[in-house]
Structure 1
Amino acid sequence: MSHSRYHLHSSFVIGEIDPRIYGSFVEHMGRCVYTGIYEPGHPQADEKGFRQDVAELVKELGVTTVRYPGGNFVSGYNWEDGVGPVEDRPVRLDLAWGTREPNTFGTNEFMDWCGQTGIEPMFAVNLGTRGIDAAREFVEYCNHPGGTKFSNLRHAHGYPEPHNIKFWCLGNEMDGPWQIGGKTAREYGRLALQAAKVMRWANDELSITRDYLANMGQGEGLRDGGPFKDKFLTLAACGSSNREMDTYARWEYQVLDECFEAVDIISLHTYFRNPEDSYDGFLKNIDNLDAYISEVIAIADAVAATRRSDKRIMLSLDEWNVWYKSGHPVDTLDPGFPEHPPLIEEVFDAKDALVVGGALIVLLNHADRVKAACTAQLVNVIAPIMTKQGGAAWKQTIFHPFALASKYGRGQALRLAHAGGDDIDIAGTRDGNRITIFALNRSLDNSRDLTVDLSGFGKMVLDVAQGVGNTDPDAVNTETDDNLAPFEIDKAAVADGQLHATIPPATWCVLSCLEA
């Protein structure tokens, strides 16, 4: 058995943990919306058609923000199709996923669902087939109080109060050849700049942002705009579609070189694959994510350096998850534009849960720069929650590490100093009088002893010691059996300022202590 030793102190602060890192993603794709979160006529649907069994699981999962309505879907989406009387909404062909979109669920339905589940919305605008006009009009519809064409339209649709949506994504994966209306980096960067300007102005930031842009972004970024902080939109520019793209790195630099002054965030997307069917190779996705984040931070800071600017672009990992077993929709889709067919309904196993848990550790260790993240997606489509049409809803294996991280991984992220023995995947947080350690034992065969020196925090008592894992890496959850439910780690205690725990093989764990 190997032994890992670490030291933790209150001065080892990485940064404040933004609750938005525990986000998810609802796209009009497959069964994520229809028969996922929304199924009128289901025995557990309310009067608005929202499945209450799913809503309760979403709350238990601890999701804080949800990106909507896409994804590839957004690059061909007219937001006007999804508002107003349902009977007047058009049925459209969705070319992104080869399906038929009825538009019976749209902006206001999503906002009602967010209100019911306590979730902050993260909206995306179409910069594929559309542009700055649609973007500014969408912000006006959602956020302006009233007295104008599009705010009055929202009133007419039964929503007199503005939605006050603060977080907006400027398009999606615009360097992808699969993307409707794809662009070069310079084309997209200039479009993102212009869209960002008019969206801010429509949000009543006109004089502030004009001054800011005129000064070329010197000083505080818009996201940290002093007395105007709560007023500003948070705007995310598209990064490259993934780290393997030929455009990667040059794309991020050129896009930010065009729109640096007007945006707050650059997005990252990654899906963890296992092409060689190797357990050890699969878990290296955790290390690759860490490198990916560090590279994008370096690129963003290089753009800032060319401007001699102390503004720091933050990061949003607004699409991420395990995805390698269920194939691609193009390979499985029936012809004829079916309506909400099952697409990429991945069945997750024990090793998938370990990779998701490891990725959450990486996000915490980059809390100073990663300010949002969205698992893709929330229900049915490579998701932690599965449903049957007309039937049950249940938790997949990846549900559990996410729920535990969201519950206990709040406050400040603290850096653990390696004090001896083997180095492992580990992160620490402090939230008031609570200190939490997240750790991953990758070994399939051996337990790992972990010691964390907490003497700098005064007297601590162990409150939670739970693990997620299974010695069978291929174990899955089903509708009736939660084979990866969290279990108690019985060999864990705090004594003389030292946290000791024995982590079983192939286990991700949370060890949370309270100040006595």
Structure 2
Amino acid sequence: MKATATAHREFTISKIDKRIYGAFLEHLGRAIYSGIYEPDHPTADTDGMRGDVVDLIKELDVPVVRYPGGNFVSAYNWEDGIGPKQDRPVRLDLAWHTSESNEVGIHEFADWCKSVGTEMMLAVNLGSRGLDAARNFVEYVNHPGGSYWSDLRRQNGQEEPWNVKLWCLGNEMDGPWQIGHKDAAEYGRLAAETAKAIRAFDSSLELVVCGSSHSGMPTYPDWEATVLEHTYDVVDYISLHMYFANHEKKTGNYLALTHKLETYIDTVAGVIQFVKAKRRSDKDIYISFDEWNVWYHSNQQDRQILNGGDGWPHAPALLEDIYNFEDVLQVGLIINTFIRRSNVVKIACIAQLVNVIAPIMTERGGPAWRQTIYYPYYFASRFGRGTALDLAISCPTYDSEQYAGVAYADVAAVHTEDDGVTIFAVCRHPDEAVDLDIDMIGFPGMRIIDHQMMVHDDLQATNTRDHQDDVAPKQGAGAKLADGKLSVSLPPYSYQMIRLGR
């Protein structure tokens, strides 16, 4: 089977905001406690943070991490996580029916972010709280000193402000499951007034307003239109969330779900343009896709805790999806979609980073390891920074049960910051290779400097504590670059990264 593409140096989509490769950590399950924080762990530093996890995250070069939620933030008092740990209250978390010790708060999280080389993306509670708590939190985090909240931060050991630039105005406020759920007009007004107050403190801050929790919400896309009409002048991004599942165990249908993702992004981009035109505005608003991942493997096992059957446990195992090779392909497809939509998607956060639907797993007192989906995320974050190329592609297609015309070869290309080119390719064909030829126009003197491949004869293969490398990349073979044409064979159900340079 043949597929062809053209990559032209001058045919571009957008410069990729590096924050498209961001991540998310919520006070949920074992994401924080025994995920990043485990004071008794053999690798723990003086702050109680796991060194083995720090090393794995530093490999990923994560540009930004969203915190502390998620559903958790909608009933969270940020003040509970400051001051001496022995004085911090234990709270009941209504979102996940667990207890929260507050051993980790803004100080601990900020120090951890510095240790892994990432920036903070903080969320304020617009569920059970509102404008006043939000502005106080911003002042505590960002004001140098000489005010009540900034001086309290200094008293608590942090002399200099953290100068966090990116703030989320609540989380999934369209969802009836959310603590303090509001309708679009109610939330839009609250978000607008909160944004105005935050901008009165610092007009340079970047603000994210809540969009639809997923594209199946009954209020979508009216929610986006109403919320943006209230907030367009005072925010910079609107958030979208989407999770991917294969309950039916039909791989072809599963790998076609990125068509749903593309439609979701394109629809909200259209709503943004509608509101912009309606308001006669010159301002552009972009998408922050700040929750995305595969999530379905753990649904059944989580029911006992989420239904309150175990009382209020602290940091139980929740949402611990064990990812397989099939999920490698899905994550590769999702990231390719974000690259191709980088003109409107400027921030994206894989949800989450450790243990909870995450690329990294840990064992209490034991090792940490890379789940299967770690690798496509790693390759994109490390080698997908630059400018997205607008490829012209011709490829055979198939029809899934939901979508027609699904390409067997999904390809994204990035003109990298060091004047190379990185190609990310996923083959959706179950039993036939796709021979891909790409005309590289305007890229003279290139050679193949790296070729990585992920392929496995078992779509259900996983990485575990005792077999951490069952699903891992290997050196690719057979790719050729001659006379300005890159030729590579994409085996059935495979992921590949090819880097060109000089």
Which range, TM-score by smaller chain? over 0.9
Shift of 1:472: 1.3
Q: Name the structure 2 match of 1:376.
A: 351
Paired residues of 1:7 and 1:419 also in contact (CA < 8 A): no
| Partner residue of 2:412 out of 419, 424, 427 | 427
Show the 5 A alignment for 1:277-426: 277-327=249-299, 331-333=303-305, 334-418=309-393, 423=407, 424-426=409-411
Runs of 4+ in 1 over 3 A off after TM superposition: 419-423
Shift of 1:285: 1.5
Shift of 1:202: 2.0
Give the direction of change, closer, same or farther, for the CA distance of 1:162–1:51 in structure 2 (3 Å limit).
same
Alignment of 1:472 with 2:458, yes or no, is: yes
Alpha-carbon distance in structure 2 between the residues aligned to 1:441 and 1:272: 18
Alignment of 1:487 with 2:462, yes or no, is: no
User: How many residues align structurally?
Assistant: 487
Alpha-carbon distance in structure 1 between the residues aligned to 2:377 and 2:356: 16
Alpha-carbon distance in structure 2 between the residues aligned to 1:310 and 1:428: 30
Q: Name the structure 2 match of 1:151.
A: 150
Alignment of 1:498 with 2:485, yes or no, is: yes
Alpha-carbon distance in structure 1 between the residues aligned to 2:160 and 2:300: 41
Q: Name the structure 1 match of 2:498.
A: 511
Paired residues of 2:145 and 2:151 also in contact (CA < 8 A): yes
Alpha-carbon distance in structure 2 between the residues aligned to 1:99 and 1:388: 20
Paired residues of 1:444 and 1:471 also in contact (CA < 8 A): no
Alpha-carbon distance in structure 2 between the residues aligned to 1:455 and 1:70: 44
Q: Name the structure 2 match of 1:229.
A: none
Alpha-carbon distance in structure 1 between the residues aligned to 2:299 and 2:497: 32
Paired residues of 2:302 and 2:319 also in contact (CA < 8 A): no
| Partner residue of 1:254 out of 200, 207, 226 | 226
Shift of 1:70: 0.2
Give the direction of change, closer, same or farther, for the CA distance of 1:329–1:91 in structure 2 (3 Å limit).
farther
Paired residues of 1:328 and 1:344 also in contact (CA < 8 A): no
Paired residues of 2:168 and 2:209 also in contact (CA < 8 A): yes
Paired residues of 2:23 and 2:350 also in contact (CA < 8 A): yes
Alpha-carbon distance in structure 2 between the residues aligned to 1:466 and 1:3: 21
Give the direction of change, closer, same or farther, for the CA distance of 1:180–1:364 in structure 2 (3 Å limit).
same
| Partner residue of 2:430 out of 444, 467, 471 | 444
Paired residues of 2:188 and 2:230 also in contact (CA < 8 A): yes
**Matched letter for residue 286 of structure 1:** T
Deviations 1:235-291 (A, max 9, x none): 000001111110110101100011110000000000101132211111111211111
- Identical counterparts, % of pairs: 50
Alignment of 1:95 with 2:94, yes or no, is: yes
Q: Name the structure 2 match of 1:210.
A: none
2:335 aligns to what SS in structure 1?
helix
Alpha-carbon distance in structure 2 between the residues aligned to 1:64 and 1:53: 19
Q: Name the structure 2 match of 1:214.
A: none
Paired residues of 2:451 and 2:475 also in contact (CA < 8 A): yes
Alpha-carbon distance in structure 1 between the residues aligned to 2:97 and 2:391: 47
**Matched letter for residue 302 of structure 1:** F
- TM-score, L = length of structure 2: 0.95
Alpha-carbon distance in structure 1 between the residues aligned to 2:304 and 2:29: 12
Paired residues of 1:74 and 1:172 also in contact (CA < 8 A): yes
Q: Name the structure 2 match of 1:63.
A: 62
1:449 aligns to what SS in structure 2?
strand
**Matched letter for residue 343 of structure 1:** L
**Matched letter for residue 414 of structure 1:** L
Shift of 1:309: 1.7
Q: Name the structure 1 match of 2:77.
A: 78
Alpha-carbon distance in structure 2 between the residues aligned to 1:455 and 1:344: 45
Alpha-carbon distance in structure 2 between the residues aligned to 1:435 and 1:425: 16
2:168 aligns to what SS in structure 1?
strand
Shift of 1:328: 6.1
Give the direction of change, closer, same or farther, for the CA distance of 1:30–1:421 in structure 2 (3 Å limit).
closer
Shift of 1:471: 2.5
Alpha-carbon distance in structure 2 between the residues aligned to 1:177 and 1:363: 28
Paired residues of 1:136 and 1:198 also in contact (CA < 8 A): yes
Give the direction of change, closer, same or farther, for the CA distance of 1:109–1:483 in structure 2 (3 Å limit).
same
Alpha-carbon distance in structure 2 between the residues aligned to 1:106 and 1:420: 50
Larger mean Cα displacement after TM superposition, 245-254 or 466-475: 466-475
Larger mean Cα displacement after TM superposition, 139-148 or 470-479: 470-479
**Matched letter for residue 338 of structure 2:** L
Alpha-carbon distance in structure 2 between the residues aligned to 1:179 and 1:329: 22
Shift of 1:119: 0.6
* Contiguous gaps of at least 5 residues in structure 1: 206-231
